[in-house]
Structure 1
Amino acid sequence: MIVDRALRTAVTVLPRRWRTDRRSALVGLTALRPHLGVAGLGVAGLLRLTGLRRTATAVGLAGAAAAAPALRRVLPRPDGPLPDGPELTVLVANVLLGRADTGALAATVTRERPDVVVLPEAGVAYLDRLLPLLGGYRGWSSVPPGVPDQRGTVVLVAPRAGEVDVRPGQGMRLPYLEVTGGLLGARTLYAVHTSAPTNPRWTELWTGELALIGEWTRTRPAPVVAGDLNAVVDHRRLRDASGDCVDATDGTGRGLVGTFPSSLPRWAGIRIDHVLVPRGSVTRRHVVLETPGSDHRAVLVTVRLPGAQDSAR
């Protein structure tokens, strides 16, 4: 199943001529590097059993090299001292063209009470169906009425988040939202959905959009970036885009829990839904939740943020 998905991903992103864009194919394969590394180790074991020791060693070394970077994402680290900033809970759930079950999602929000909810692939139509099920929450869409859900991102804010300012942002193919004020103070939370690098043109857009995120993450105070980034931490573009932020899974030991596609077991999927938080933040909780009706799983994180002065250093 994994190998088949890897091959199909590679074929999808291959350009019509090999010389037009040699890197786009690697985007899809890089997302599966831990899976391919483990598969390589398994193949090496089988080769060794058949007596092909030299070949087994070569394949095993290649598999180990591919899988090694994943080790730090499955080994939790002790928490450091808590910073003196606010505690923030964020839920990210791609709702698949506005098709995710609103009742199930409302139940999750009601149970978990996140301060901010980010819903890629949701617009005004989905917001109008969901918001009446959520007492006290306010909602905004990055696109106006009449625009299909798939082009939008919705943000919901709980009463605890206080009086926030929410405004649309430009610079990505899919409009995003910027949230400031209230619990966030001077810090900005960006609710985003980057282009999927499934062909050369969109790979170029994806590269530029991650570069824009990199500009945000190098501002002071460092922001929170939440949404479907269509990238895994093995992608160099995402690592570069992190700037003065880190993935909220960093140090939790849960960095390999897949959020997409939800049809695969969590260990077999890839994690493209992220919450990037300022360096110095401490993740108090990180869970991956089912989202009925969507091809993504949701990500829920609770982080203690550094104070604005600490972030400005």
Structure 2
Amino acid sequence: MGSLPSTLANSSSLLTFDLMHNKFSGRIPRWISSFSSLRVLMLKENKLEGSIPTHLCELKNIRLLDLSQNKLSGGIPYCLNNIGFGNMDAASEIEIGSFIVSWTTRSSHYRFDSITGKVFVLKEKQNVTLCKVQEVDFTTKSRYESYKGSILNFMSGLDLSSNQLRGKIPSNLGYLSTVHALNLSNNQLEGPIPETFSSLKQIESLDLSHNKLTSHIPAQLTQLYFLSFFSVAHNNLSGMTPDMKNQFATFGSASYEGNLFLCGPPLPQNCSIGGRNRQPHHLDTDDFRDAFLWSFVGAFGVFFISVIIVIYLNPYIFNYKLLVLERVITSYLYE
């Protein structure tokens, strides 16, 4: 718990930095950007807060970046497209699937000479070298799995889910052409899905569910031929779903559920029966009800004040009102 320990700031040769499932709090420190060789940064399920710092964009060789299940707020930095996510030149490529561990230990062997009666040391020291397999846990395709060994050299992903992120999704994220998994779910992101996402040619898992996204789903996403998991559920999207072709022919209604103004297969709403003319609701049910009540109260108040002003400031209406009142009183006294 506490802030991330600054004693790690001098570990510039780190390849994997994994502090998941702890209680670290505070902001993501600046010194992490000094890890120029870093390939894996895992800070999932802590209590980190504040905005996602732009200095993380200096870690250009990151393959896996997981900041999910924290308390991060603000917008998504536009500069995240500067991170390679596997797109590195040969000079920067370092194998992260395994690493070498060597040490020196005392492993003495003895021999007893039956003739002389002496004991001889055959081997006093031994150098030991082992190859350890690196293992990393990461969520992709809505499953939490463990990746280890050589597969890590081919895996890449960005997970910012389950935070308090706001604002629009930067269109620059569409230029992460080598990323395999992108998870922005369970935030408060608004605005449209960037059409640049059609350039995520290597994407296999795209999760944008449980946000406040609006407008239509870009039809160009059907060009993502490696996509095997897709979800935009529980947003405020409207219009027609993408054509049921290529990979999108494999996605069921669960990928789109919770969007009242979406229509077309695989959803039961038929666009030909008023579906095309349905307008997106940009407000939640409670917000819409409150807005309607306040607008009604305001309109009634303006009408009431206008009537009072007309009656009391117009002398003709005022005199007529007095005449009517006099007749009513006279009639009552006569009876």
**Shorter-chain TM-score range:** under 0.3
Question: TM-score, normalising length from structure 1?
Answer: 0.23
Q: Which has the higher helix share?
A: 1
Structure with the bigger percentage of strand: 2
**Structure showing greater Rg:** 2
